[in-house]
A and B are shown apart, each in its own frame.
Chain A
Amino acid sequence: MRALAGYPTRVLALTLLTLMVGTVFGRGQSPGKRAVAAPAHAKVVDLIPASLSGETNQDSEPFLAVQTANPQVMVASAFTPNPISNTGNAPLYVSEDAGNTWVLNAITPVPRMTCDITHAISIGENHPRGDLHAGTLACAASVTLDESESDDVSSSAVMNVQSSRTNVDQPFVRALAFSNADHIYVGLNDLGQSSGRTATVDVSLDGGASYKSYSIESRKTMGQDGPSVRPAIAPDNTVYAAFFGWRKFNGSMATSDVVVVRDDAGATGSHPFQALKDPSDKLPGRLVVKRVSIPWSNAPTLGQERIGSTLSIAVDPNNSSTVYVGWADRGRKGDIYTLHVRRSTDRGVTWSKSDLPHTTISNATNIALAVANNGTGGLLYQQLSGGRWVTHVVQSRDAFATIQDTILATVPADRPVGQFLPYLGDYDYLLSVGNEFRGVFCANNTPDRANFPQGVTYQRAADFNTRTLTDGSGNPVAISIDPFYFSVAVMP
């Protein structure tokens, strides 16, 4: 009888436990519709080359560019210092075999190491291993932005700086081939804007030869907008940009709108990014959500990571009416940082009133969205779960109602001890190429197969039996944060 009497209690406890696991390890929603089968064609590669097997840097905050005309050619970046010199140029990772192998080439215009870098390769100028356009910030100076290009990322020529200015944050580069020139869109937070409307897109319509700077904030701010300003472009010349419109800020919490602007002509007009107006005030910039609370902490807060500004936007390349936006805020009670994704199917005029299914994600950051050619939505994020950083790439054909969740890495969150902030990065990146989602993330580099459920390839010297790194001569090397490239087949 006692056993029978205890049965409902045990069932209840088990049910509660299942719900808790779903909340902590999943997305806080019913896992019933989640398909957990991993795609068969996932590839994960540690970018650190064999000849730098002795390195122990915190190579965080990765980014990726793919040459769409020849997707064998890719460029990646991270907070990787010049391996030789404190005064040599900061390097880029270059692959010419679709990410199987990478070399480090020190060609950015920044000394030693960039302190923000994003880039894009377009094909308007018909360079076989370029044209790479980059936005870089220089460290330990007055945080100077260089907008630069390389015609050949495998050459030793240092990138040509085309535009430069100080006091900006988080340049985020997108490029689109247009006739014989590249159109380049650099989202950035222009802290020199005296109006306080700092969310800005720098636009070049001539391959970077000249840039015009456009504030895309039309409302009053608390003195500035949030750091992340993210453009997204479609081949039909539609350009969206998302940003955090900061309305209040007390040093540890921002009250922010999530705003999306749109331009239908590639920002070629004299007053670009005005196409989308909010019905509440008729001003340019649709307010996707209003006055959410976003915690700001420039200290280890989510594990060893800082938080305050993660944002992504992606447009369907074949239907520019469909656009997704994702961000993080304080979220639910007990969460440190919660991700959200919303969708519009009418060019940003109206948005889903609540988060898409399976996209309210607890204690996660580094959101990156992409849409494949067949309309599949892709979502990359990193979640602190059970003392581990778990990197997910999620796909869906039906606005995340049903999903395919692939765990790329699950690594200890407490090791290695951070050398600086950000620990993993203020962003990672996802894009679509043909029938693949490709991207980059950063993680603890312990060579342990259990940490990489899809498998992993190390270029650097590593012994997976003893789970140790070596310097190529058999001497042990301490674990550190490395950038990882991945490719996952798009759901058919």
Chain B
Amino acid sequence: MEPGKQGRMNTSRFFLAGILWISLLAPGALPQATNNQAALVKQSSITFVGTVSQVAATSFAGVPKSPQTIVVRVDSVLKKPAAVSLKKGDTVTVEVKDPAAFHDGTQAMFYTEGWIFGSGVAVKELGHDTAPSGGTPGAAETGEKVVGQAHSEISDQDLQRLLATCDYVVVGRITHVHAWAIPKSAASRYRTSEHSANWQEAVLQVQSVLKGPKLKRNKMVVRFPLSRDVAWVSAPKFVPGQQGIFILQKDEVSGAPTSSAGGYKADVYTCLNPGDWLPMTDEARVRSLLENR
């Protein structure tokens, strides 16, 4: 079995264990999760239920101790990246916002982002619920969605950032790809480097625009790096016939922001971040995130 799949199974197991633990603690007597909780779950990269074991302390060497750092024993993990090793019984250092809210024995759902990774995990608090209301049916549903989201190539949080800062989001299909001939006007910036991008141009047949001004024509030119160099390897690569959702920026990188590849002179766009191209299966998710901006 692929390790990634193992990791996903693990996450699911942790999630189910967390739900079970919460259910045993507070059976059927808890309110619905609030919008704030749902936002915190989406925003956090590591979400877990835990019990405070020490205040003003840290759980492993290499984490600077302060009045804001507390040690928490993990009771269940609801969300974490596959690369991170974290399970029930581990201790975590949490840099909290308000140390007065915690004392030995405090139980809480911690919504956190990663901080330091060593022999253990140190995280920064984004929010918490001291009553384990994260175990309510509402929060459990939210949590389940988040675990599902963690399986995707890109988190909702990262995708939201891409959608917020891009110029266009379109659904379309690549019709043609060719090497970009660097014009004389931009040649001076193209010297030999191991980071050379090896730019290609793709003609994108637009089927619908999810974000951005209305297009005059239903074609766009997308410039993308074919290079396998570390600088460009994470940028999406395109082939003719490739369909999906394209999150596009006006080209500010290649040095020549227009092209005639589509049959007429037009602005060129890039999608250089991992997640700037998504398969059609993500269309509903993208639409939902765009609507909830």
Residues in A lying within 8 Å of B, measured CB to CB: 49-57, 60-61, 79, 82-88, 91, 94, 96-97, 101-106, 112-113, 115-116, 137, 139-143, 154-156, 167, 169, 189, 191-192, 194, 198, 223-224, 227, 249, 296, 298-299, 306, 308-309, 418-422, 426, 459, 461, 471-473, 475-478
Q: B16 at the A/B interface (Cβ < 8 Å)?
A: no
Q: Are B81 and A475 in contact (CB under 8 A)?
A: no
Q: Are B117 and A104 in contact (CB under 8 A)?
A: yes
Q: Are A420 and B114 in contact (CB under 8 A)?
A: no
Rank and list the top 4 A-B pairs by shortest CB-CB distance, nearest first: A472-B85, A103-B118, A103-B62, A420-B233
Type the 1/0 row for B85-97, where 1 means its CB is closer than 8 Å to any CB of A. 1110000000100
Bound CA span A444–B164, Å:
39
- 17 A-B residue pairs with CB within 8 Å: A50-B119, A51-B84, A51-B85, A51-B118, A52-B117, A54-B84, A83-B114, A86-B273, A86-B275, A102-B62, A105-B116, A140-B232, A142-B253, A191-B193, A421-B233, A473-B85, A476-B1
Known: A115-B231, A298-B229, A471-B3. A101 touches B62 (CB 8 A): yes
Known: A139-B232, A421-B229. A223 touches B118 (CB 8 A): no
Bound CA span A450–B86, Å:
30
List residues of chain B with CB within 8 A of the CB of A50.
85, 118-120
Q: B154 at the A/B interface (Cβ < 8 Å)?
A: yes
Q: Are A139 and B192 in contact (CB under 8 A)?
A: no
Q: Are B81 and A83 in contact (CB under 8 A)?
A: yes
List residues of chain B with CB within 8 A of the CB of A87.
157-158, 161
Q: B218 at the A/B interface (Cβ < 8 Å)?
A: no
Bound CA span A459–B287, Å:
42
Q: How far is the CB of A152 from chain B (nearest CB, A)?
A: 8
Q: Are B45 and A85 in contact (CB under 8 A)?
A: yes
Known: A103-B63, A420-B229, A421-B230. A51 touches B194 (CB 8 A): no
Query: Nearest B residue to A308 by beta-carbon distance?
Result: B194
Residues in B lying within 8 Å of A, measured CB to CB: 1-3, 6-7, 9-10, 45-46, 60-64, 81-87, 95, 113-121, 124, 154-155, 157-158, 161, 188-189, 191-196, 225, 227-235, 252-253, 272-275
Bound CA span A192–B189, Å:
7
List residues of chain A with CB within 8 A of the CB of B62.
94, 96, 101-103, 105, 154
Q: How far is the CB of A471 from chain B (nearest CB, A)?
A: 6
Bound CA span A191–B2, Å:
43
Bound CA span A306–B227, Å:
13
Extra contacts, 15 of them, besides A140-B231, A471-B3, A471-B6 (Cβ < 8 A), are A54-B85, A56-B83, A57-B83, A94-B62, A101-B118, A101-B119, A139-B232, A154-B62, A156-B115, A224-B192, A296-B192, A298-B196, A309-B194, A421-B194, A478-B2
Query: Nearest B residue to A461 by beta-carbon distance?
Result: B85
Q: Point out the residue from A140, A224, A459 that lies within 8 Å of B235, measured CB to CB.
A: A140
List residues of chain A with CB within 8 A of the CB of B7.
54, 471, 475
Known: A86-B273, A86-B274. A103 touches B87 (CB 8 A): no
